[in-house]
Amino acid sequence: MDFDLTEEQKMLKDSAKKLMDREIRPYLAQFPAGQQMSFDDIRAILKKLIPLGYLGNTIPEEEGGAGLDPLTYHLIMEELDPDIFGLTMITGGAAKSISVMGSEEQKKKYMPPLLNAETIGCAGITEPNIGSFTGGIQTRAVADGDEFVINGSKMWITNGAFADVCVLLASVDPSMGAKGLGRFIVEKKTSPWEARPIMTMGDDGRIPAVGQLTFEDCRIPKENAMGIPGQGLKEQLVEFQMARCMVATGSLIFARRAIEEAVKYAKERTQFGRPIGQFQLIQDKIADMQALYDASRLLTHRALVEVSKGKRCAKETSMAKFFATEACVKVTSMAIQIHGAYGLSTEYPVERLFRGARMMTIPDGTTEIQKLIVAREILGMQAFV
């Protein structure tokens, strides 16, 4: 087993770090917390990320993607500024969904604008009354002549407040339950929906993390149905494997930053005439934080290697997701403890890192759901139907 990065991976990571330091962070710093950025400003960030493959991710180069393998994609995502993680992951993810399941016409029409950051994507699965039980989706897509008419609401949608294109999971036949779901590409320009931002604890007000979408007699052309009718949930579950690795990757960003801040503070802060880093109980936390981070990263790397084999790897991807996201809550919380009261202050970065970390145990399947998947794969027994 070789843990060394290839020369190409090292070069990409280095370029990603430089891009964040030289362009992304100074650009973000222009916008004060609490003031929502315009959609053009948000698009401008995505445009800066294109050359490194952040949007093109694992999409084949012949389709306009970056053609990265899943692990290399994760390695550059690890370098992203945490404030733009969801924005980037989901925009690239919407293009990837279309690349995997879209028709040739859909790929030609919707992928180039997503990959060039002319449009911003989102994935509409969760609803106000349907969270973990994805098979119970209530949003309806009813065939009417050459169109589908969409009615329903999607909740907690990353990029939802400003997305132009939604890859939507809806029921075409409620009598078939989970087997009656299909996926659709909905474009706001031609098939408008209503969107509202929802403020959550990880937000700093500049880029609303999530939003609610409401579809009222929203008409889309029939050719916007994606994938195989009735197989929407199955297709979604395959995509969740990579998505779960990506949420784990996001958690690693928060955890690493928190460790860096805690180490710096432990060396600088003195009490009882000594740097607090000399106290054994502080050292205990530093050791735990680093071990949690390394274990999370190893589980995530293993899951990504399994994903790249194109095999079913629910156990590995769910384990990486729940372990890394729960670990990052613990790591960011310990970073606050090391900072004492200063850690709770909005003037120090660890307070914000903790709020961001706390968001990660819920999307793409909660910790509880991931554990049920892991145990199901081990026991061969299903806790949910």
Question: Which stretches of the chain bind ligand FAD, using CB under 6 A?
Answer: 90, 122-126, 131-132, 156-158, 209-210, 359, 362-366, 368-369, 372, 384
Q: How does strand 147-158 pair with strand 194-198?
A: unpaired
Q: In whole angstroms, what is the distance from residue 374 CA to residue 122 CA?
A: 27
Nearer to ligand FAD among residue 80 and residue 209 (C-beta): 209
Nearer to ligand FAD among residue 201 and residue 291 (C-beta): 201
Nearer to ligand FAD among residue 124 and residue 152 (C-beta): 124
Nearer to ligand FAD among residue 46 and residue 276 (C-beta): 46
Q: What are the start-end ranges of the E strands in the chain?
A: 121-124, 140-144, 147-158, 165-171, 181-187, 194-198, 210-221, 225-230, 270-271, 274-275
Nearer to ligand FAD among residue 208 and residue 277 (C-beta): 208
Nearer to ligand FAD among residue 195 and residue 266 (C-beta): 195
Q: In whole angstroms, what is the distance from residue 147 CA to residue 345 CA?
A: 53
Report the residue closest to ligand FAD, judged by CB.
Answer: 131
Shortest approach of ligand FAD to residue 209 CB, angstroms? 5
> Is the Cβ–Cβ distance between 104 and 38 less than 8 Å?
no
Shortest approach of ligand FAD to residue 142 CB, angstroms? 21
For 95-154, give the DSSP string. Answer: HHHHHHH--HHHHHHHHHHHHTTSS-EEEE---SS-SS-GGG---EEEEETTEEEEEEEE
Nearer to ligand FAD among residue 277 and residue 356 (C-beta): 356
Shortest approach of ligand FAD to residue 238 CB, angstroms? 16
Shortest approach of ligand FAD to residue 311 CB, angstroms? 24
Q: In whole angstroms, what is the distance from residue 206 CA to residue 286 CA?
A: 32
Shortest approach of ligand FAD to residue 359 CB, angstroms? 4
Shortest approach of ligand FAD to residue 228 CB, angstroms? 20
Shortest approach of ligand FAD to residue 282 CB, angstroms? 31
Long-range contacts of 363-366 (CB under 8 A, 24+ apart): 363/156, 363/158, 363/247, 364/240, 364/243, 364/244, 364/247, 364/321, 365/132, 365/240, 365/244, 365/318, 365/321, 366/132
Please state the φ and ψ torsions of residue 139, each to the nearest 5 degrees.
-60, 135
Nearer to ligand FAD among residue 131 and residue 205 (C-beta): 131
Structure tokens at 39: 């959609």
CA-wise closest residue to 209 among 162, 249, 152:
162
Residue type, 269: R
How many angstroms separate the Cα of 382 from the Cα of each of 67, 292, 369?
36, 29, 11
Shortest approach of ligand FAD to residue 181 CB, angstroms? 13
Mapping DSSP to helix (H, G, I), strand (E, B) and coil, where does residue 181 land? strand
Shortest approach of ligand FAD to residue 137 CB, angstroms? 10
Structure tokens at 45: 């960030």
Nearer to ligand FAD among residue 98 and residue 362 (C-beta): 362
> Is the Cβ–Cβ distance between 185 and 165 less than 8 Å?
yes
Q: In whole angstroms, what is the distance from residue 42 CA to residue 209 CA?
A: 12
Mapping DSSP to helix (H, G, I), strand (E, B) and coil, where does residue 356 land? helix
> Is the Cβ–Cβ distance between 303 and 269 less than 8 Å?
no
Shortest approach of ligand FAD to residue 43 CB, angstroms? 18
Nearer to ligand FAD among residue 313 and residue 362 (C-beta): 362
